[in-house]
Amino acid sequence: MLPLEKLEPFGGEGRWCLASATEYHLGLLKAKLAKYRAQLLEPSKSSAAKGEGFDVMKSGDARVALIGFPSVGKSTFLSLMTSTASEAASYEFTTLTCIPGVIEYKGANIQLLDLPGIIEGAAQGKGRGRQVIAVARTADVVIMMLDATKGEVQRALLEKELESVGIRLNKSKPNIYFKPKKGGGISFNSTVTLTQCSEKLVQLILHEYKIFNAEVLFREDCSPDEFIDVIVGNRVYMPCLYVYNKIDQISMEEVDRLARRPHSVVISCGMKLNLDYLLEKLWEYLALTCIYTKKRGQRPDFTDAIILRKGASVEHVCHRIHRSLASQFKYALVWGTSTKYSPQRVGLTHMMEHEDVIQIVKK
């Protein structure tokens, strides 16, 4: 029970408003929960688990992690998409360590990691779950392999496991400016009308984390959970493709329903169905672009593409070719969809698009 000082008088009739008390409890509980969960998931130094880790060197232009429950078809998928053979069998836990493979697509080398099956309670370390999730955090895209015959149960459980270790799937980072200071108290501002958070709630959450001096600016209407994510600062926001395997074992109506769900693709590894579409979607989620180079007086080299992230500029291309090239840069000639006419003379800030051709002229 809260003391009466915590309750604020409401109106002229002397009634007590419980809104601030509820707010106080809610903010405090959410902050405490996030704090204790973080402490619980951090392995203690004394009881560090000995054994083989999943250290796989990052290679290629992008990294994709395959996660899912045991026996959903991850190893079969890896063997189909890459030249790597991963042992596949009809019993659970066939794969016991991380097996890397490489998908060659549109001139890019995409590293695909076949991770051991996750079981419920993986975030607490069950079934080597901690190592599996730690590798998933380093990926650019997560492919969540699901058994189409099991319905929605697997998806909900996996999302819960990943959420509890700070992986946010298909979400963007909250647009909140947060900067701890040495003094001056808490400065709170917002550029939008807040319906889920108030200044008092923000202060209570910050106090729970022993932060008494900070600058906070809300640029969008965020929830208390999103604000806690910003304070903690170790959350990973990544795109995720939900891949439903074994569609040859369910009805057409169910296939249609699953295929229409957001961020979802339906496939069958056994019958090799819809794998081309999955590769297209994966390329879209990785947001990669191929840039081709051209020497003066010669034809473009279409055999060796430079793979960059979407939104890369001419300067990024220069750095990829050689680190000193940007300082010697005079101008570039670009052919492709990013220009108004071909070739167009551009500077370092020009944004490149997929399959553009570039010729760099030095000083």
Instruction: Name the nearest CA neighbour of 26 among 271, 297, 263, 208.
Output: 208
pLDDT at 357: 92
218 or 72: which leads in pLDDT: 218
Higher per-residue confidence, 255 vs 32: 255
Q: Is 308 exposed, middle or buried (0-12, 13-18, 19+ CB in 10 A)?
A: buried
User: In which region does residue 251 sit, left (phi positive, over 0), alpha (psi from -120 to 50) or beta (all else)?
Assistant: beta
For residue 360, CA distances in Å to 31, 292, 314, 329, 335 come to: 53, 11, 9, 7, 12
- Cα distance between residue 254 and residue 273, in whole Å: 16
Q: What is the mean pLDDT of the chain?
A: 78
Residues forming beta bridges with residue 66, ordered by sequence position = 114, 143
pTM for the model stands at 0.75
> Could you tell me which residues come within 8 angstroms of residue 39 by beta carbon, excluding any fewer than 6 positions away?
none
Above 70 in pLDDT, residue 268?
Answer: yes
Q: Name the token pair of 354.
A: 């997929």
Indicate whether 354 pLDDT > 50: yes
Joined tokens for residue 87: 């042992």
What pLDDT score does 2 carry?
44
The closest alpha carbon to 111, from 67, 65, 80, belongs to 65
Report the percentage of the chain scoring pLDDT > 90.
2
User: CA–CA separation, 345 vs 73, rounded Å?
Assistant: 50
Looking at residue 52, what is its pLDDT?
A: 47
Model confidence at 125, pLDDT cuts 50, 70, 90, reads low
CB-CB contact of 292 with 356 (8 Å):
yes
| Residue in this structure with the two tokens 């596949």, named with its chain if needed | 88
Nearest partner of 268 among 249, 286, 290, 245, judged by Cα: 245
- Residues, the chain: 363
